[in-house]
Chain A
């Protein structure tokens, strides 16, 4: 998705300086995107350390391929896409070295559709990071990034049905983990309902 935007002079100057590999500009771009992008990386990783590795690896790509960025489109979206791609690469590497323990889905602990709203971002992130990588990747790509199952299947090199299945399992497991890890909130939400 490309958004046509009017770039500020400052942003243009920043990009040009980054293209000249000027360190101050690189630092400024890094700082300005750091929070959001690390948040993205956190969702695709199992811990903060991994997320930081992904972030730095992705920023190296950002600086290297910044010349390919089309002025007039959203820089933020472009960087975010690189983050996601790098995270997916990371996921692929992880899958190579790890036997994923795909657990059976527990019985759906709660049909409360407003379950998420009662938890903080950190709590949600914590449970997302506990998901098996294949569930986590599908859930992030589908639920957060808005990719279609076909696209996810292409990106992760799986079938569409696997993508659907993993998504269902990811959701169930998230709900189950949220209920188990934070039972009080889960109960209070049920009561409210």
Chain B
């Protein structure tokens, strides 16, 4: 039984300790935290030690599964590239064909307009009907220099033209309109040679001046009529001005852009490379395994089993990049006799299966032609002039060949295949060189002139003054190729090819060509 003192003591003690708190000591917490961290770290370290280098036992079924996945992926990847390549080629051909068809139509209209101009017999228009470009003016000045009979007016006009022509932007197809514009703006142009907006007409003014002079003086060199396209009109000029005629005649004879087809088509790398690689791999494996010490399967590979491996391992699709050089010869056309030409380029090939491969590429081809033209012209006064023109033409082409290759024979080192396909060609540059001799036949020895031909009197390539329709064409090609494997990654090939164009090209789209080429090159697979 408690007395009052005890009760009081208990009460006071209770009150005293009921809200009693010790001051916080951070060191105590640090100590606990360290212990906790150490505990966690040790736990983690133990787990790491146990698990880090843990290895599961090998299961052959897993490799079989893996191999299936790899085969599936390997089959899928070349298909991807094949379809992409096919898609690209198809779209390219489609665009080219569309452009050609469209150009056919517009070309027809242009020729109709030209015919109308010819009927009106406005000879001066011919000069302006030409591609209203800067070359025309320069042509004039050069032609004037070439011709000793050039009138002063002509040379002035030529200067005017040269200033103005830099600003010419009219297209070649505006021939029918050009004729009218030229005749109207003739005077203005002659007075203001630097008038940029009338630049195209400046050329025609020169032609007007020249033609007038030609009427007054039969010997006036009307060099300004450097018309490339309007051949029939130029013929009218010829009857009035001798020099003009001669050049116009030349233009006529050079009417066509004689594009010939470049050989191309890199041959594809052999599919048998896969087998070759596999065979080598198996050999390497034999060498490696003894060092490894655990190659239980490969160690036992004998020559007989290698053959079995070679026969049973799956076909591996590959892509190959080929660098190609080629020599080619082509048939005669309106540019003249074909002489030795060459091509260079690259192509990409992809296997379709064991028997077929698809290739497409980008080639540059340089084609050369020689032409000799002899003609006679009789002036109204009865004087007969003989002309002899020797001209070399050099065409630069870009080609996109697409071909399907079919293997006819192959072993570990050789592959022989047939190739067939299409080749889209674009003449982007044309250059000319040569001489023009004019002599009076009745006064032989007394009147004889020789000059270099003016390249700018002739039609240009697509990147010069030419239009697309006259500088683009399609060819079909067939060929046979032989490929020799050098190493695992490199092979040499040789591939003769025959091409024939099935769309026309050149001036007035009158030319077709046939090309025989011999391509050689180096391929690498990746």
Q: Which residues of A contact B (CB under 8 A)?
A: 10, 13-14, 17, 20-28, 30-31, 34-36, 38-39, 42-43, 52, 55-56, 59-60, 63-64, 111, 113-117, 119, 121, 124-125, 128, 139, 142-144, 146, 171, 174-175
Contact = CB atoms under 8 A, between A and B. Distances in A.
A142 B69 contact: no
Interface in B90-123: none
A94 B431 CA distance: 68
B316 A24 contact: no
Given A34-B56, A175-B43, A23 B69 contact: no
Contact of A124 (B51, B53, B57, B288): B51
B198 to A, nearest CB: 61
A144 B51 contact: yes
Contact of A30 (B44, B56, B63): B63
Contact of A121 (B44, B51, B67): B51
Given A17-B284, A24-B285, A113-B38, 17 more contacts: A13-B284, A13-B288, A17-B281, A20-B488, A25-B281, A28-B295, A34-B56, A35-B56, A38-B56, A43-B51, A56-B69, A116-B46, A128-B51, A143-B44, A144-B44, A144-B48, A174-B47
B58 A31 contact: yes
Contact of B278 (A23, A115, A117, A174): A23
B9 interface: no
A25 B277 CA distance: 12
28 contacts: A10-B292, A21-B74, A21-B316, A22-B278, A22-B281, A23-B281, A23-B313, A24-B281, A24-B298, A26-B70, A28-B288, A34-B56, A34-B59, A34-B62, A36-B53, A36-B55, A39-B51, A39-B54, A42-B54, A43-B51, A56-B65, A59-B66, A63-B70, A113-B38, A116-B43, A117-B46, A171-B40, A174-B47
B274 to A, nearest CB: 10
Nearest to B46: A116
A13 B51 CA distance: 30
Given A52-B62, A111-B39, A143-B48, A23 B67 contact: yes
Q: Which of B44, B47, B66, B282 has the most CB of A within 10 A?
A: B47
A39 B53 CA distance: 8
A128 B105 CA distance: 76
A125 to B, nearest CB: 7
Nearest to A39: B54
B55 A10 contact: no
Contact of A142 (B38, B44, B65, B66): B44
Nearest to B66: A56
Contacts of A63: 70
Nearest to A116: B46
B381 interface: no
Interface string B19-56: 00000000000000000001110111011101111111
A56 B44 CA distance: 28
A28 B63 CA distance: 10
Given A23-B278, A125-B51, A142-B44, A60 B73 contact: yes
A112 to B, nearest CB: 9
Q: Size class of B's contact patch?
A: 35 or more
A71 B288 CA distance: 20
Contacts of B6: none
Contacts of A35: 55-58
B281 A34 contact: no
Nearest to A122: B54
Contacts of B298: 24
A39 B62 contact: no
Contacts of A10: 288, 291-292
B46 A114 contact: yes
A39 B56 contact: yes
Nearest to A118: B46
Q: Which of B44, B56, B298, B313 has the most CB of A within 10 A?
A: B56
A124 B43 contact: no
Contacts of B291: 10
Query: Which 7 pairs, one residue from A and one from B, show the smallest C-beta to C-beta distance?
Result: A35-B55, A116-B46, A143-B44, A38-B56, A39-B54, A113-B42, A113-B39
A115 B43 contact: yes
B69 to A, nearest CB: 6
Contact of B277 (A22, A27, A42): A22
A22 B314 CA distance: 11
A176 B301 CA distance: 53
Contact of A56 (B43, B62, B74): B62
A13 B295 CA distance: 16
A38 B47 CA distance: 17
Interface string B418-430: 0000000000000
Nearest to A35: B55
A113 B43 contact: yes
Given A56-B65, A142-B44, A34 B58 contact: yes
A66 B59 CA distance: 23
A171 B66 contact: no
B63 A27 contact: yes
Nearest to B53: A36
Q: Which of B42, B44, B66, B488 has the most CB of A within 10 A?
A: B66
Q: Which of A22, A111, A128, A142 has the most CB of B within 10 A?
A: A22
Q: Which of A13, A30, A128 has the most CB of B within 10 A?
A: A30
A116 B47 contact: yes
Contacts of B66: 30, 56, 59-60
Contacts of B47: 116, 124, 139, 143-144, 174
Given A10-B292, A13-B284, A20 B277 contact: yes
Contacts of A60: 66, 69-70, 73
A52 B47 CA distance: 22
